[in-house]
Amino acid sequence: MVLAVDIRNLSKDHAGEKALRGLTVGVPEPCLFGIIGADGAGKSTLMTILATLWDADQGEAKVLGRDLRKDFQSLRRDIGYMPQRFSLYQDLSVMENLDFFADIFGVTGTLKAKRKKELLDFAALTPFTRRRAGQLSGGMKQKLALACTLVHEPKLLLLDEPTVGVDPVARRDFWIMLKSLRARGITLIVSTPYMDEAALCDELILLHEGSILARGKPSQLIAAYPYRLYRVDADADVPTLTYPASKAPPEGFTLIYPSSGALHAAEPKAEKRDPFNRLRASVPHSAAVTLIQPALEDCFFALLTGAGKSTQP
Amino acid sequence: MSGYSIETTHLTRKFGAFTAVDGIDVKVAAGEVFGFLGANGAGKTTAIRMLCGLLVPTSGSGTVAGFDIIRESAQIRTRIGYMSQKFSLYPDLTVAQNLKLYGRLYGLGKADLKNRIQSMSDFLGLGPLLDKVTGELPWGWQQRLSLACANLHSPKILFLDEPTGSVDPVSRRNFWDLIHQLSGQGTTVFITSHYMDEVEYCHRLSIMIDGRIAAMGTPRALKTEHACASIHELFLKLMETNSLPATRSAP
Amino acid sequence: MNLRRLLAISRKEIRHILRDWQTLAVVLVMPVMMMFLYGYALNADAKDIPVMIEAPDLGPEVRTLIDKIDASQMFKVAGVIPVVDDAGELFKLYGIHALFRFPPGFSADLRRSGGAHAQVLIDGSDPNIGTMIRNAAEPMLLGATLQVMNIRQPKVLDLRSLVLYNPDQRSALFFVPGLMALILLMISALLTSIAITREKELGTMGQMLVSPLRPLEIIAGKIIPYIFLATLDGLLILVVGYLAFGVRIAGNPWLLGACSLVYVFTALSIGLMISTIAKRQQHAMFIALGATLMPTVLLSGFIFPVASMPIFLRTVSQVIPATYFLEIVRGIILKGVGLDVLWKPVAILAGEGALLTAISLRKFKVKL
């Protein structure tokens, strides 16, 4: 198997904290590879290192078969990088932004015209070529930013939380674009705080305090879910059920938290007692309890809180 | 005077030929958690700026905490708290210095300020971080500090503009815990978010499309009415049937 | 070095400049405004300074002297008072800058013994005017007195001074070179350092670094538009200087242009140096103002003559590019001299620019 990214024992200190602690991971080629994790887990640090903008303190990394540290100049031709909260040049138009990125990557002549046309169609920005980037809506800005990072046809695309602040429709469109890039054989590494987006990845790592807490296909992570999961719905006369994080879970349960408009309660698979009675004892207005399949968000909760891990607020 | 925390009648704002907010009618009761949803550029921020008295409506009227949003914006501003993703704390100040600064900006007296900082930092778990430099804290903690600053002067109404952007699920869950606690104490919470799973915890919500409110009600009623399994589904459905989102832009 | 990529950066920078019309307006209007400020408001050519005379006896000699004072270009007699109790009160009340006191018996003394005492009280609160009055009062009064007494001055030394290059001592000829030094430095050092740090602040610098762009291309591409802007302002100053203040270039205008470009190069290298240190636009601005503009105004010889500075400051002024540029511009505009005289300051400017550029290119990080 060819690896687009091959990282061994990567460590990096940032702002006095250990941002990455001996990370080892391989990303196959091609792949839509997701990075999830709490805030401060090291996602952006890893992205910035892979983008050749920071050097790791320790460890080795090969990207597209080349040494990340030694061959960074040549790698820069083959990598596309979209930093967190990337905002382009607000005072330049859509077309001027695209032109600029084409020019600095040496895409010229008829090839440039062709790529620009393709990308504008791809990003659904063809009607807005003369509009200033600052006048675009949040979703369109992100699509333009993606188009700009694609203009030199990179083999590896690094996207750091590209859909933050983007509405659900634009977010869905954005991921359709990522999927089609993946289908063309590009490797994408995407970090995201959205678990529904993570579920669309081929493979995922969950970072926690600079180390990998879990890795696998979304289906594998879900299959490895250690609990039995119930959904608790509210009485018709109560808008939503809540359960404070500070309160201990109901007897026999390991976890309970609001999710998708209901409460999700997880108990060890060995637990034999009737869940409904135990839940009703500590959750007022609980009307219905159904056994459900966990989603990635449930895995995230299980991995980050279940194992006694602390997380950010 | 109405009994509502927030009440608007045909609130409208135009920028030139462009109508950003197009005659919205919203009523929010005291202590309610109200989700104010919409696509990027649908007019949410413009509406919030009018409610906070930062922008004068082109037509229509509204009251916030019982005060007129056009004539009494000064009274409104002392009774609301505002927090947004862009809302900037001073990154080079410590947590305690930021809190003190905002307290003084809102005119809290010395003893009052001390009490409020104490109780807010207990409430939000900021105690151990008071002497840390704000800019060096993880994003989730900075968000929490923003909430503390917005809430320091015990406002009756909190406007939270995308407070949970870029925050992981566990941290968001904890953040929503706080929102519900504040609501339980009687604070009205007016919140925007692009996370359709978390807005299911709102008491009521509205979905704005092209400056108009396309749907409003409790999450449960809305889902039943539109035969959707989730608000996420409802949002996508409404957007597809009601708008040409690409033709609009944020002013 | 790839010309196409370099031009892409320049094109983008020109768009930024043209679209930020407020900054552009400041850049184009400010030099003209400063010229008129220096030309009129801060006029150093003193005329009709109000003074008063204390003279208890108004003999014919005293009266003649008073007429002479009033007739001079510099002074204007605001009043003659027989006895002054409180001179300080008089200064405050009438806003005069000097009080000439001719004691009782002045005329008689003069007639009897051929010598007399007089006094001038000078308002020192404005040192410029104070010094001027002091320098002018004695020779003027002495000359007038001799004339009154009909004494021809014995010819011991006949010193006739003739001012060359700026015979009328007009201040326009003095501030036009100074403003050129200041404005060119400001555009080159301040604006470029801000333009580069802005990319860092926006995060677009990272984006440019993750591309085949080389540091030299980024830097040169960003700088070129500012060279044009600086040239435009330089021309603006010369044209306004000629039209409004009649300042002509005595020497070769092309030489002036070429030397200005050398100076712009040096100033740009300072801007680059700043942008390698500063992380935010604000830092860049303060460093640029503090480290370049202030010393230029104070220490280059623009306002205070270098020769009268203490050793330490004189050493500092030897490092400031504007010191050399002033030498060059004054040389070309006023004296009309050529490169045979000015090669040294030109070489020093070029050397400083080359050194700073080399350091900046070295310091320019290809990573964040």
Q: Do chains C and B touch (3 or more CB pairs under 8 A)?
A: no
The candidate with the shortest Cα–Cα distance to A193, out of A39, A18, A19, A25, is: A39
Chain A neighbours, 3+ Cβ pairs < 8 A: B, C
Query: Does residue A126 share a domain with residue A267?
Result: no
Structure token pair of residue A287: 């009307």
Last residue of some domain: A179, A205, A220?
A220
pLDDT in tens, C208-248: 888 888 888 898 999 999 999 999 999 998 898 888 888 88
- Interface A–B counts its CB contacts (< 8 A) at 152
Q: Do A312 and B41 touch (CB under 8 A)?
A: no
B64: confidence class by pLDDT, cuts 50, 70, 90 = very high
Query: Does residue A242 share a domain with residue A210?
Result: no
Query: Does residue A50 share a domain with residue A168?
Result: yes
pLDDT in tens, A289-299: 999 999 999 99
Structure token pair of residue C219: 């830097």
Residues 6+ apart with CB under 8 A from B251: B15, B18, B20, B46
The residue of chain A with its CA nearest to that of B42 is A137
B71 CA to chain A: closest CA distance, Å?
A: 31
Between CA B74 and CA B168 the distance in angstroms is: 36
How many degrees, rounded to 5, is the angle at CA C180 between CA C177 and CA C181? 90
C212 touching A (Cβ < 8 Å):
yes
CATH superfamily of B4-89+155-247: P-loop containing nucleotide triphosphate hydrolases (3.40.50.300)
Q: Is the pLDDT of residue B244 over 50?
A: yes
**Residue A271 counted as domain residue:** yes
- Output the pLDDT for position A311: 42
Query: Does residue A260 share a domain with residue A196?
Result: no
Lowest mean pLDDT among B114-123, C54-63, C115-124, C139-148: C139-148
How many degrees, rounded to 5, is the angle at CA A166 between CA A163 and CA A171? 65
Between the alpha carbon of residue C318 and those of residues C41, C69, C131, C239, C349, the distances in Å are 30, 43, 27, 30, 11
Contacts with A15 from chain B: Cβ below 8 Å: 136
How many degrees, rounded to 5, is the angle at CA C68 between CA C63 and CA C71? 125
**Whole domain around residue A114: which residue ranges?**
3-220
Query: Does residue A237 share a domain with residue A183?
Result: no
Comparison of pLDDT for B53 and B138, the residue scoring more:
B53
Last residue of some domain: A196, A220, A244?
A220
Between CA A283 and CA C325 the distance in angstroms is: 81
Last residue of some domain: A220, A249, A277?
A220
Residue tagged 């018996």 (tokens):
C105
B30 CA to chain A: closest CA distance, Å?
A: 16
Q: Is the pLDDT of residue A312 over 50?
A: no
- Residue ranges and CATH numbers for the domains of chain C are 27-42+170-363 (no CATH), 49-148 (3.40.1710.10)
**Residue A298 counted as domain residue:** no
**Residue A29 counted as domain residue:** yes
Query: Does residue A281 share a domain with residue A171?
Result: no
pLDDT in tens, C102-156: 888 888 887 777 777 888 888 888 777 787 788 788 878 887 787 777 776 666 6
- Output the pLDDT for position C155: 64
- Output the pLDDT for position B250: 43
Q: Do A53 and C8 touch (CB under 8 A)?
A: no
Query: Does residue A235 share a domain with residue A205?
Result: no
**Residue A246 counted as domain residue:** yes
Domain chopping of chain B, boundaries: 4-89+155-247
Chain C neighbours, 3+ Cβ pairs < 8 A: A
Lowest mean pLDDT among A188-192, A235-239, C170-174, C252-256: C170-174
Q: Do A89 and C12 touch (CB under 8 A)?
A: yes
Residues 6+ apart with CB under 8 A from C63: none
- Output the pLDDT for position A258: 87
Q: Can you give the pTM of this predicted structure?
A: 0.80
Query: Does residue A10 share a domain with residue A147?
Result: yes
pLDDT in tens, A20-67: 898 999 999 889 999 998 877 888 899 999 999 998 899 999 999 899
Backbone angles phi, psi at C35, to 5 degrees: -65, -45
Q: What is the mean pLDDT of residues B71-82?
A: 89
- Output the pLDDT for position C170: 61
Between CA B124 and CA B144 the distance in angstroms is: 7
- Output the pLDDT for position C166: 56
Query: Does residue A254 share a domain with residue A105?
Result: no
Q: What percent of chain C lies above the pLDDT cut of 70?
A: 92
Q: Do A92 and C204 touch (CB under 8 A)?
A: no
Instruction: Using CB atoms within 10 Å of the CB of residue B131, give its burial: 0 to 12 exposed, 13 to 18 middle, 19+ buried.
Output: exposed
- Interface A–C counts its CB contacts (< 8 A) at 76
- Output the pLDDT for position C169: 52
Q: What percent of chain B lies above the pLDDT cut of 90?
A: 39
Number of domains in chain A: 2
The residue of chain B with its CA nearest to that of A207 is B168
Which uninterrupted H or E stretch holds C35?
helix C21-36
Q: Is the pLDDT of residue A182 over 90?
A: yes
Which of A39, A244, A305 is opposite residue B167, by nearest beta carbon?
Answer: A39
Which of B38, B136, B162 is opposite residue A165, by nearest beta carbon?
Answer: B162
pLDDT in tens, B155-165: 999 999 888 87
- Output the pLDDT for position B175: 86
Q: Is the pLDDT of residue B78 over 50?
A: yes
C1 touching A (Cβ < 8 Å):
no
Comparison of pLDDT for C150 and A88, the residue scoring more:
A88
Tell me how crowded residue B15 is: count the other CB atoms within 10 A of its CB.
Answer: 12
Q: Is the pLDDT of residue B52 over 60?
A: yes
- Quote the crossing angle between the two packed helices C21-36 and C215-245, to the nearest 10°: 40
The candidate with the shortest Cα–Cα distance to C301, out of C329, C271, C266, is: C329
Q: What is the DSSP string of B183-200?
A: HHTT-EEEEE-S-TTGGG
Residues A217/A245, Cβ–Cβ less than 8 Å: no
Query: Does residue A206 share a domain with residue A233?
Result: no
- Output the pLDDT for position A46: 93
The candidate with the shortest Cα–Cα distance to A163, out of B136, C368, B194, is: B194
The candidate with the shortest Cα–Cα distance to A40, out of A21, A61, A68, is: A21
Which of B42, B138, B230 is opposite residue A260, by nearest beta carbon?
Answer: B230
B1: confidence class by pLDDT, cuts 50, 70, 90 = very low
- Output the pLDDT for position B102: 87
Query: Does residue A142 share a domain with residue A65?
Result: yes
Contacts with A54 from chain C: Cβ below 8 Å: 367-368
Please provide the average confidence, as pLDDT, over all residues in chain C: 83
B125 touching A (Cβ < 8 Å):
yes
Structure token pair of residue C169: 């001592």
Between CA A303 and CA A301 the distance in angstroms is: 6
- Output the pLDDT for position C207: 84
Q: Do C16 and A91 touch (CB under 8 A)?
A: yes
A18 CA to chain B: closest CA distance, Å?
A: 13
**Residue A307 counted as domain residue:** no
Lowest mean pLDDT among A115-129, C32-46, C323-337: C32-46
C238 touching A (Cβ < 8 Å):
no
Query: Does residue A258 share a domain with residue A209?
Result: no
CATH code of the domain in which A198 resides: 3.40.50.300
